[in-house]
Amino acid sequence: MTIMFPRARFLASTVAVSLSILAVPAQAADPIKIGVIAEAQAIAGASIPQAAQLAAEEINAKGGIDGRQIEVVIYDNHSSSADSVRAFQRAVNEDKVNVVIGSYISEVVLALMPWASRLKTPFITPGAASNEITKAVNKDYEKNKYTFHGYLTSGALATSVCDAAKDLLVDAKKMKTAVIMSEDAAWTKPLDVGYQECLPKIGLKVLDHIRFSPDTTDFTPIFNKIEGLKPDVIITGISHVGVQPTVQWKNQQVPIPMLGISSQATNSTFGKDTNNAAFGVLYQGVSGPGVAVTPKSVPFADAFKAKFGNYPSYAGYTAYDEVYFIADAVKRAGSTEADKLVTALEATDWEGTIGRTQFYGKDEPFTHGLKYGKGLITGLMLQWQDGAQVAVWPKEVSKGELKFPSFIKLTTN
C-alpha cells in the first residue's frame, strides 16, 4: 500500500495538469481569420463575400492550411466609407482577423488604406481600380505596404479595353470615332486619361469626353448629345450605375454600340435586371461563364452558380482567388504575422481563375498592383447576347461573334 502525502499529491496533480496542457494543440489549431468588408447589397459587390466563403469552404474541406481552418468574417459596409472604417476597426481590434479583403469601390479602399497602415493588417481589394491605390504604396512604401491591389488598375483596364476595341471595332468593323462616357468617380479619372491616350493610338478619334454624376437618373440629355456627335462607338467607364443607362440606351434606341467598363454587367443577373436591355452591350471582364481563362475558371463559376443561383461578378472571381493566394502566402510564410505575410504576398505567383497573379514590386510605379500582360492577366471582352454573357475577345477564349440589336447602326461596316 502506498501512502501519498499532501506534497506528493500536489506534485502528481501538477504533473497531470501539465501533461494535459501539453496534449492540447494550441496555436496550430487557431483558424486563419479573413475579414471581408463588402457592398453585400450591390450588384457587383454581392459576389465578394459569397466567393470568399466558397473558397474557404473548399480549402477547409481539404484539411485547411497546415491543419488550420480558414474562417471568413463578413461585414456589410452598405457602400459607405464610414461604415467600412468602423468594420475594419472592429475586424482587427475585436474579431482579431489576420487579413482583410475589402470593397470594389475606390473611395472606400482609399479610406481604408490608412487603417491598414495604423493597425498593421494586410488588406487586399478585389475590385477597386483607382491608380491612386498603388501610387500611394509606391510613394510611401513603409507606411502603405500592407495594401495590395487585387484587381487591375484603371490604367491597365484602359489598356485592356483599347486592346479589345482595336481588334473588335477598328480592325473588324472599320470604326474611326468614339465618345468617352464615364461616371464621375475616383477610379474613372485615371481610366479616362488612359482612354484619351490609347484610343487615338488604335485609330479611334475621341470626339467628346462626358463625365456624369453617379446619381444621374435621366440619361436622355447625355444620349441626345452623343447622338448629335455621331460617333461610331461609346466607350464606357461605369460601375456604380449600369442598369439605368443601359435600359435608357435601349428604350431610346440609341443607334451607337457601347463598349468598355460596366461593372454591373459582369454579374449574370444584369440581363434580368435590365429586362434584357443589355443585349449588345460589350463589357471588359476578367473571366466569365464558360470561359476557361485558366483550368480553374469554369469549375469556380459553376460551383458559385450551384451554390448561389447565379454566376459571380468580376469581383467574385478576384475575391475567390484572393482567399486562395492568402492561404498560400500563410503556408509559405509559416505565419500570420503581418510583416511576414506582406513579404509572402509580394512573392505571390498563383494561377487563379483570372490568370497568373503576380504583384509589381516596391520600385515599380504600380507597387502591389496586379501585373498586366500576356501570360499574366489581360482581361477579356464579353457581350450580352440573348440573355447570356458571351466571350468575344481575345480569340483564344472567344465563344461567339459580335451581335447587336436591330437599332444599332454599324454605318462604318
Domains in the chain and their CATH numbers? 30-152+295-357 (3.40.50.2300), 155-285+379-397 (3.40.50.2300)
Helical spans, DSSP H, in 126-204: 131-139, 141-144, 154-165, 172-173, 188-202
Residue 278 grid coordinates? 443589355
Give the other-Cβ count within 10 Å of 392's Cβ: 21
Cα 310 to Cα 409: distance, rounded to the nearest angstrom: 32
Q: 283 phi and psi, to 5 degrees?
A: -140, 145
Find out whether 307 and 105 touch, Cβ atoms under 8 Å.
no
Q: Coil, helix or strand for 372?
A: strand
Q: Is 21 exposed, middle or buried (0-12, 13-18, 19+ CB in 10 A)?
A: exposed
Enter the pTM of the model.
Answer: 0.84
Query: What does the DSSP 8-state code read for residue 64?
Result: T
Cα 153 to Cα 379: distance, rounded to the nearest angstrom: 12
Residue 13 grid coordinates? 496533480
Helical spans, DSSP H, in 253-399: 270-273, 297-308, 314-333, 338-346
β-pair partners for 205: 177
Find out whether 195 and 206 touch, Cβ atoms under 8 Å.
yes
Cα 287 to Cα 379: distance, rounded to the nearest angstrom: 7
User: Per-residue pLDDT for the chain (413 aa), expressed as one digit of tens each?
Assistant: 344 444 443 333 333 333 333 434 444 579 999 999 999 988 788 999 999 999 999 999 999 999 999 999 999 999 999 999 999 999 999 999 999 999 999 999 999 999 999 999 999 999 998 999 999 999 999 999 999 999 999 999 999 999 999 999 999 999 999 999 999 998 899 999 999 999 999 999 999 999 999 889 999 999 999 999 999 999 999 987 778 899 999 999 999 999 999 988 888 888 888 988 899 999 999 998 889 999 999 999 999 999 999 999 899 999 999 999 999 999 999 999 999 999 999 999 999 999 999 999 999 999 999 999 889 998 899 999 999 999 999 988 888 899 999 999 886 44
Give the other-Cβ count within 10 Å of 41's Cβ: 11
Find out whether 49 and 56 touch, Cβ atoms under 8 Å.
no
Cα 113 to Cα 105: distance, rounded to the nearest angstrom: 13
Residue 327 grid coordinates? 492561404
